[in-house]
Structure 1
């Protein structure tokens, strides 16, 4: 099947989901997640491995419940892309609560890097912010060409400037210095280049140093934000925290550890909403065996 046909089919499916009541789509996503969780596969193996490494103090039964709930959130988030990518600005705004520790405005006195993390509602809160304020987003291109084409177009539909992760550092710095904030996520294993190994839940994790380097070069403050799926199918919450203190510190390893420690604390608040299906510990320090 040609890519154009697949694009049309996926686009049509998401458009259809965007027309359904939010609560219905959320429940369908949870039900589908429960069903797919029963099927052994690579993502379920990654999920269980991550939870075993990060929560060794939990029993097998506790980790099993957490794994099932996490998988439900992951699949639900995919179906909710319909609202996020094709729903109206008003529909997205109506489903969002905002709790910000900083004064949000179109332009900032200081360059700003919004540091996000892969929780289930990250897509929703980023779309919401782009409705309200100019923003640029550093994104990782998807391996599937069909999904990549749709996601890039739909994420930019409210004016977001999309910058690929391997794009020009000069372009990124120019955006920051222009007064437009940049959103990025740095909680995945993107390879050994510009990364260091620091603990994450007590496990050495390959962690990007790009955030502290960009902050150093641009003079930007680094403002973390977290997304939350609200109970009762009410929608989402965007929590924006104060800028990380003394960041960058001049020590990229210390900065990477500070990011991981902040993320750990937030994960412990809603552990089932984090994307544990990513291979966070894909690369290991020299001499350590693979975990997956």
Structure 2
């Protein structure tokens, strides 16, 4: 058997932030880290759903260490990102582990509060803004890590450099692929920048393969696509549980062997399912010039919104 949640090292004393923690991969990640003693901050867009998930986890917990707290965070609103970062700064003054997990998948075209295409805003820009705001709280913490969750969609993604917000042409799956490619490009560029300035913080990426979460039914519901619903039914035997899908990000977040700049995914069926192992990133993400170009573009889009203090 490969690396599993049972192999997570002792997390007592560590403060962890997980975005999108109330369901799917985020919920399982929160469950596993808290079970090993971490204090987990569940950053959720919907407070009612977040509180329900927090209560369930607390009731089911066998850990006498750490705790679980709820924070409000809407990644599609840079002002909400700013408020969340300020709350962590004021209440805790530090952070050991950030898991950029939350995401939306293939909705009809919508815009964030700042006017950016929703998937690019939520999956990439919001996480980039949150990470940049929290890095000062992580500097100097033992084994501080940022784990950014991408997906297999990175491999068919491309950055629409002249139209990142899909204003001229919008295809929901192309936009999703763009956002997931952006996730891994961001993780690798962050790794480079942290290394260049001599930081001890590690930046890693992970993808879950085909994991059964709320993303699939949410996409079907938002688009009313019978064809998509049928495709998911046909593919159902390939899907693994959310708990299995969370293992690559848990490995990146906690394994002693996981190094900055690495990318983890499932080990079997071309990365669709199985226990975590190191995986190659999309070819576009290996190009340092493209990564730097994306960083600069993203920074301009973020800074066009509220200043993150």
**Bucket of the pairwise TM-score, normalised by the shorter protein:** 0.3 to 0.5
TM-score of the pair, normalised by structure 2: 0.35
TM-score of the pair, normalised by structure 1: 0.36
Higher relative contact order (CA 8 A, sep 6+): 1
